[in-house]
């Protein structure tokens, strides 16, 4: 039954139905068969010929092209412009006894700001630490000073993201 909702079926069905109505109209008015359809075709063709034979000045065409270009440029500039929210500079905080840094990225599909590049910082030298997941815990290690620690919280990154978003909702973040 998908063919019933197909655009092709709808457009052809409408055309056939229109022809059927025109034939009924001709029959009721005792006009020759398909005379209404012939008159409509003649009227449309006359209008097309009238438009094609219209005298157009070259500067009209240039103005129309210029207007279209201006509209396209304006739409593209407006679409590409993203207004940064108040929390955009909130990129560093101490959460769960660790200093974290992150960046913001706008997702145009969901129209939301997402946290990206969430990094834990070394408490000794403030260097970004890398983490290794060992199956049961995260092992944070500093490449500069070899500071090493383990956390039992497997979802610490998700917890930190939730806390950051909560701080923004409650407006308790460092600007």
Note whether 106 and 165 are same-domain residues.
yes
Q: Residue 75 has what pLDDT?
A: 82
Closest CA to 92 of 81, 103, 100: 100
The per-residue pLDDT for range 62-110, each reduced to its tens digit, is 999 999 999 988 887 777 667 788 899 999 998 888 889 999 998 878 8
Do 101 and 72 sit in the same domain of this protein? Answer: no
Please report, to the nearest 10 degrees, the dihedral formed by the alpha carbons of residues 81, 86, 92, 95 taken in order: -130
**Phi–psi pair at 172, nearest 5 degrees:** -120, 55
Task: Specify the higher pLDDT residue, 174 or 112.
Answer: 112
Residues 100 and 152 both lie in one domain: yes
**Residue 38 clears pLDDT 90, i.e. is over it:** no
Q: Which residues contact 175 (CB under 8 A, 6 or more apart)?
A: 86, 87, 89, 90
136 pLDDT higher than 90: no
* Confidence label for 42 from pLDDT (cuts 50, 70 and 90): very high
Please indicate, yes or no, if residue 10 is contained in any of the structural domains.
yes
Q: Do residues 16 and 38 both lie within one domain? A: yes
Same structural domain for residues 75 and 90? no
Whole-number pLDDT of residue 153 = 66
Is 175 inside any structural domain?
no
Q: What percent of the chain has pLDDT over 90?
A: 30
Where among 80, 108, 138 does a domain terminate? 80
Tokens of 169: 């909702």
- Residue 67 in domain: yes
Instruction: Report the distance separating Cα 118 and Cα 102, nearest Å.
Output: 4
Residues 141 and 112 reside in one and the same domain: yes
pLDDT of residue 45: 95
At 40 the pLDDT is 86
Domain boundary, last residue among 80, 113, 147: 80
Q: How many of the other CB atoms lie within 10 Å of CB of 115?
A: 17
Residues 131, 164 within the same domain: yes
d(CA 37, CA 21): 10
pLDDT at 131: 79
Residue 90 and residue 166 in one domain? yes
**Does residue 8 sit in the same domain as residue 60?**
yes
Q: Where are the alpha helices (DSSP H) in the chain?
A: 7-29, 35-52, 58-80, 156-170
Q: Residue 47 pLDDT more than 80?
A: yes
N residues, the chain = 175
The domain boundary residue, chosen from 80, 108, 141: 80
In a shared domain, residues 7 and 51: yes
Domain containing 166 equals: 86-170
103, 146: one domain: yes
Report residue 144's pLDDT band, with 50, 70 and 90 as the boundaries. Answer: very high
116 within some domain: yes
Establish if 166 belongs to a structural domain.
yes
Please check the confidence at residue 35 and state whether its pLDDT lies above 90: no
113-123 pLDDT, tens digit each: 999 999 989 98
Dist. CA 115–CA 161, nearest whole Å: 7
Count up the domains in the chain and report the number. Answer: 2
At residue 126, the 3 state secondary structure works out as: coil
Q: What is d(CA 75, CA 57) in angstroms, rounded to the nearest whole number?
A: 28
Same domain for 72 and 109, yes or no, is: no
More confidently predicted of 75 and 11: 11
């Amino acid at each position: 039954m998908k063919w019933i909702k197909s655009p092709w079926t709808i457009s052809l069905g409408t055309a056939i139905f229109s022809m059927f109505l025109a034939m009924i109209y001709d029959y009721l008015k005792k006009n020759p068969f398909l005379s209404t359809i012939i008159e409509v075709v003649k009227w449309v063709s006359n209008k097309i010929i009238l438009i094609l034979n219209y005298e157009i000045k070259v500067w009209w065409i240039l103005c129309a092209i210029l207007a279209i270009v201006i509209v396209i440029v304006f739409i593209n500039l407006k679409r590409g412009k993203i207004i940064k929210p108040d929390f955009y500079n909130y990129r560093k905080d101490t959460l769960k006894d660790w200093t974290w840094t992150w960046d913001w990225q706008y997702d145009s599909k969901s129209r939301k700001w997402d946290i990206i590049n969430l990094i834990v910082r070394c408490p000794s030298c403030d260097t970004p630490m890398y983490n290794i997941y060992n199956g049961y815990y995260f092992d944070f290690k500093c490449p500069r000073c070899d500071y090493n620690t383990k956390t039992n919280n497997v979802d610490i990154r998700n917890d930190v993201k939730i806390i950051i978003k909560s701080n923004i909702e409650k407006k308790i973040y460092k600007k």
